[in-house]
Amino acid sequence: MKQSISLLLGCMLVCLSAHAQEKAKPLRLGMIGLDTSHVVAFTRILNDASRSDHIPGGKVVAAFKGGSDDVESSYTRVDKFTEQLNTEFGVEIVDSIEMLCTKVDAVLLESVDGRPHLEQAKPVIAARLPLFIDKPMAGSLKDVIEIFSLARQAGVPCFSSSSLRYYPSLVELKAKDIGDLKGAISYGPCSLEPHHPDLFWYGVHPTEALFAVMGTGCLSVSRTFSPETDIVSGLWDDGKTGIVYGLRTGHSAYKVTLFGSKGIQDQQGGGSYVPLVKEIMQFFQTGTAPVSARETVELFAFMQAADVSKANGGCSVNIPDLIRANGGAWLLEE
Give pLDDT, residue 11.
47
* Termini Cα distance of the chain: 58
Residue 252: predicted pLDDT: 84
Q: Is the pTM above the cut of 0.85?
A: yes
CA angle 100, 106, 109 (to 5 degrees): 70
Q: Give domain 2-134's CATH superfamily.
A: NAD(P)-binding Rossmann-like Domain (3.40.50.720)
In three-state secondary structure terms, 203 is coil
| 158 touches 147 (CB < 8 A) | yes
Task: Report pLDDT for 3.
Answer: 53
Cis bond upstream, residue 136 (ω within 30):
yes
Write down the pLDDT at residue 24.
67
**In whole angstroms, what is the distance from residue 76 CA to residue 261 CA?**
49
- Each of the 334 residues of the chain gets a pLDDT tens digit; together they read 445 545 444 544 444 444 444 456 899 999 999 999 999 999 999 999 999 999 999 999 999 999 999 999 999 999 999 999 999 999 999 999 999 999 999 999 999 999 999 999 999 999 999 999 999 999 999 999 999 999 999 999 999 999 999 999 999 999 999 999 999 999 999 999 999 999 999 999 999 999 999 999 999 999 999 999 999 999 999 999 999 999 998 878 999 999 999 999 999 998 999 999 999 999 999 999 999 999 999 999 999 999 999 999 999 999 999 999 999 999 998 7
- Map out the domains of the chain as residue ranges: 2-134, 164-272+291-333
229-236, strands of its sheet edge to edge: 264-266, 255-260, 181-189, 241-247, 229-236, 218-225, 317-318
Contact call for residues 143 and 132 (beta carbons, < 8 A): no
Parallel, antiparallel or unpaired: strands 106-109 and 131-133: parallel
**Cβ burial, residue 167 (10 Å; 0-12/13-18/19+):** buried
pLDDT at 251: 79
Report domain 164-272+291-333's class.
alpha beta
E-strand ranges in the chain read 27-32, 58-64, 92-94, 106-109, 131-133, 158-160, 181-189, 218-225, 229-236, 241-247, 255-260, 264-266, 317-318
Q: Residue 72 corresponds to which amino acid?
A: E
pLDDT in tens, 54-76: 999 999 999 999 999 999 999 99
Amino acid at 280: I
Instruction: Name residue 242's beta-bridge partners.
Output: 184, 234
Q: What pLDDT, on the 0 to 100 scale, is given for residue 23?
A: 52
